[in-house]
Structure 1
């Protein structure tokens, strides 16, 4: 397993390098020129903005019998983000990366959740950089502080994914996070609803569909997600989101076609085109109630020409833009 990515400090800027258009002044700034390290000290944080937080883990993928390498995802994703345009005035914060050490996934998820909760308390939108989709259980645990305190009463979990990730297993994996989240919410009497867009019939067993039905999960099949259906899907999704005061958005990159996202543990035989995924992601991110988002399953070892990293970076950038646009007066 790769060594841990350093937290914000003297080396935090390592991946933040890219093109500089000095003649354009502030209008030509890119993310690597505006990003700042996070400080958890009183009075040490920037105004509320977008905070990037990595989880360098593929332990959940390994436990789920997948292909290792996603632990390198947060670093590759930051490098792909570095030269994207800084089109928003909202502060951009790098809150570091939590490593999974010695296979102790549960400890890493807890550390990530604690840091995410502190960032949420400061008013930031947290965007998680995976790592395997075990990041989702960590993200949910970070959001749980809002539900526990009553600052959020109804939580929508929106997952773009070829898989339900509702597996029952003897230990947490990249395939269990949403079952963990739903069972945790129910045990605490919290109102959480789970919706999956891009589900593949060929990638989920009958047992997983049965589990989804028993939990009241809503889903849309990949074959139903085409440009022909896009506007209807977008309108219906926006209407559904109105019933919630907190939204968690998560994107598993294996929802995309293998040609677009080859660098994942389980490349899609079909997938959903980026032309459909992107506007739907923007709809969720721009709803005005997004609290946390993450992108999962980026595996640089399996990527081709940085296709998956660049696509993931574009989606992260779109999430930040849509969220900041919704917050602007």
Structure 2
């Protein structure tokens, strides 16, 4: 069980005292995650009734070892600290229970141990009734986030039907000797095979020019469902949402991950691999709403935010907006 001590001094922002309770912002209500009671019983899944927790638990994944192994632009390990600063000024509306579970930090190249620590942390907060929102960090975050949900569900169901929905320009199904930010969904597929679980993976925003033919072939072999970026303009939103609805009906639990490089480079410049085209925010947000409102969302994360390459906090603001949007559904 991994419990981290969050640095609550990071939570700062504007105070509109004259506005009263309706003028509060996140930094005024966020609380550190308290240690659990000894031998506490398993709580229901996020979204169900719970005697402990309720609301969201933010977990930072301060790691870009996977990006370094994948020969990308490093710096994503600074993402969680920057995101907290932006989230601090978000207005409090429907989500009024916000908990900070601290950071999982990767030391040097110790990626695998960091991913395991993240899995343990996600499983812990799930067991206490929170919805984990994980802030990256590179997309190696996915193997840790999924691992936490798998750990949580393994004691409850023999073969849970977990749907992995990834908004991303890349499949991240690469074959490699070592794990990286390009391998997590192939690793998840292998983990499901070892457990005897079905592998349900949906990738939205795939770029023909950011994935080799080998990756498309592997996606077909694994039964992955995907839409290309050029199939996701605002005019085709109804078709996109029908595609997502069809995927959702075949699963009971959803792990939702957003790689910020799915967005156009002008919207999200602060990533390892900025998109030449991307999927507009006008499509990303309704899809997010659809997934968050499905009643099946168990874990969500935002990956590949690299503050060192951001411009005017564009990427930070859009990442914070997306996380807040998910939180608003959790608080509804």
Q: Same fold (TM over 0.5)?
A: yes
Q: Which shifted more, 138-147 or 230-239?
A: 230-239
Say whether the 8 Å CA contact 1:288–1:323 is kept in structure 2.
Answer: no
Cα drift, residue 7 of structure 1: 4.1
**What is aligned with 2:196?**
189
**What is aligned with 1:48?**
54
Verify: 1:58 aligned to 2:64, yes or no: yes
Verify: 1:204 aligned to 2:211, yes or no: yes
Verify: 1:105 aligned to 2:105, yes or no: no
**What is aligned with 1:261?**
268
Residue ranges of structure 1 left out of the alignment (5+ in a row) = 1-5
Cα drift, residue 18 of structure 1: 0.6
Q: Which shifted more, 297-306 or 235-244?
A: 235-244
Cα drift, residue 150 of structure 1: 3.1
CA distance in 2, matches of 1:207, 1:162: 15
Say whether the 8 Å CA contact 2:202–2:247 is kept in structure 1.
Answer: no
**What is aligned with 1:3?**
none
Alignment of 1:232-311 (within 5 A): 232-311=239-318
Say whether the 8 Å CA contact 2:52–2:129 is kept in structure 1.
Answer: no
SS of structure 2 residue aligned to 1:315 = helix
**What is aligned with 2:5?**
8
Per-residue CA distance 1:99-151 (angstroms, 9 max, x = gap): 00121011111111101100000011000000000000000110112332234
SS of structure 2 residue aligned to 1:181 = helix
CA distance in 2, matches of 1:23, 1:235: 45
Per-residue CA distance 1:270-308 (angstroms, 9 max, x = gap): 111111111111111111110000000000000011100
Post-superposition, which runs of at least 4 consecutive aligned residues in structure 1 deviate over 3 A?
43-46
Q: TM-score if structure 2 supplies the norm length?
A: 0.92
Q: TM-score if structure 1 supplies the norm length?
A: 0.93
Verify: 1:174 aligned to 2:181, yes or no: yes
Cα drift, residue 90 of structure 1: 4.3
SS of structure 2 residue aligned to 1:191 = coil
Verify: 1:154 aligned to 2:151, yes or no: no
How many residues matched? 318
Say whether the 8 Å CA contact 1:238–1:287 is kept in structure 2.
Answer: no
**What is aligned with 2:43?**
none
CA distance in 2, matches of 1:30, 1:46: 23
**What is aligned with 2:15?**
20
Per-residue CA distance 1:66-102 (angstroms, 9 max, x = gap): 0110000000111111101111254110000010012
Cα drift, residue 244 of structure 1: 1.6
Q: 1:119 aligns with which of 92, 106, 125?
A: 125
Root mean square deviation, CA, Å: 1.7
**What is aligned with 1:142?**
148
Q: 2:28 aligns with which of 24, 29, 33?
A: 33
CA distance in 2, matches of 1:25, 1:46: 28
CA distance in 2, matches of 1:23, 1:238: 44
